[in-house]
């Protein structure tokens, strides 16, 4: 069996297991490669062939089994709308096959487990996790295969991003969206992104400036959408015939629906 999908499994159907992801014990399929779990709570048995794990709409899930997941070949982990999940699996860093980590609408999730992230990740997306703010303690700086990072929403009180030594130089595409307190991009973190080709910034209402120095010379495309203060600053530069420092070297710039060049 390569694929398995659980949908709307009740508590009684999972042996009354509540508040922890302690099911899938009944699933004795060692060759299983993909599991999609929806509206239920399950996963303990060893699944050495498992490559993709998606857990969707599981409001009762608050934690994973102690000791972490025995899924050494897991390449993709997606968590969506697990509103009471407070932590990721223990020993997450030992999932060295994991390439893609996608976390959305997990509003109680606050931190990454001690030990940091798996070393071979190439894709990280964190969306609408109100209590989760990327930290240098996560150890992303050492993720030399990480080429895509996206942060959407959350990060309460964060006025600048990314901090120095947060992201590795391997990042090619960076998307920043809906950071409600963000006022400026931190040049100390941006200048370290020497491979950055695409920067997308959207719905950051208080973002007022880009770094005068430190925008990578590798940057090819800049997309700005729904950032009114930043757009206003650009417009005033045009009227006053001023250069927009830090942006002039970028071949493709688009603000809202207007292609600047």
The model's pLDDT over 229-242, given as tens digits with 9 standing for 90+, comes to 998 888 777 656 56
Across residues 220-227, what is the average pLDDT? 96
Across residues 168-190, what is the average pLDDT? 96
Instruction: Report the distance separating Cα 261 and Cα 137, nearest Å.
Output: 38
- DSSP symbol at 162: S
Name the token pair of 218.
């590798």
Q: Which residues contact 184 (CB under 8 A, 6 or more apart)?
A: 159, 160, 207, 208, 209, 210, 211
Burial class (CB in 10 A: 0-12, 13-18, 19+), 232: exposed
Q: In terms of Cα–Cα distance, which of 126, 78, 120 is closest to 98? A: 120
Percentage of the chain beyond pLDDT 90 is: 57
What are the C-alpha distances in Å from 64 to residues 18, 33, 43, 186?
Answer: 11, 19, 8, 35
Confidence of residue 212 (pLDDT cuts 50, 70, 90): confident
Name the token pair of 219.
């940057």
pLDDT at 34: 66
Note the pTM of the prediction, 2 decimals.
0.85
């Amino acid at each position: 069996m390569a694929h398995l999908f659980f949908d709307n499994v009740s508590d009684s159907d999972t042996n009354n297991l509540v508040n922890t992801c302690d099911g899938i014990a009944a699933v004795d399929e060692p060759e299983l490669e993909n599991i999609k779990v929806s509206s239920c709570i399950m996963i303990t048995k060893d699944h050495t062939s498992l490559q993709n794990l998606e857990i969707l709409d599981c409001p009762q899930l608050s934690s994973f089994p102690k000791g972490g997941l025995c899924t050494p070949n897991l390449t993709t982990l997606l968590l969506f709308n697990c509103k009471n999940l407070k932590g990721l699996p223990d020993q997450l860093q030992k999932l060295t096959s994991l390439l893609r980590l996608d976390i959305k609408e997990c509003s109680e999730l606050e931190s990454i487990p001690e030990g940091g992230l798996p070393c071979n990740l190439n894709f990280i997306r964190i969306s609408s996790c109100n209590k989760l703010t990327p930290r240098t303690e996560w150890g992303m700086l050492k993720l030399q295969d990480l080429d895509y990072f996206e942060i959407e929403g959350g990060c309460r009180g964060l006025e600048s991003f990314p901090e120095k030594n947060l992201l590795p130089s391997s990042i090619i595409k960076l998307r920043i969206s809906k950071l409600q307190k963000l006022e400026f991009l931190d040049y100390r973190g941006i200048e370290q992104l020497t491979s950055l080709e695409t920067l997308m910034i959207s719905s950051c209402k208080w973002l007022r400036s880009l770094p005068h120095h430190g925008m990578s010379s590798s940057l090819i495309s800049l997309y700005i959408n729904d950032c009114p203060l930043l757009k206003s600053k650009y417009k005033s530069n045009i009227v006053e015939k001023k250069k927009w420092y830090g942006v002039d070297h970028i071949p493709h710039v688009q603000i809202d629906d207007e292609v600047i060049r």
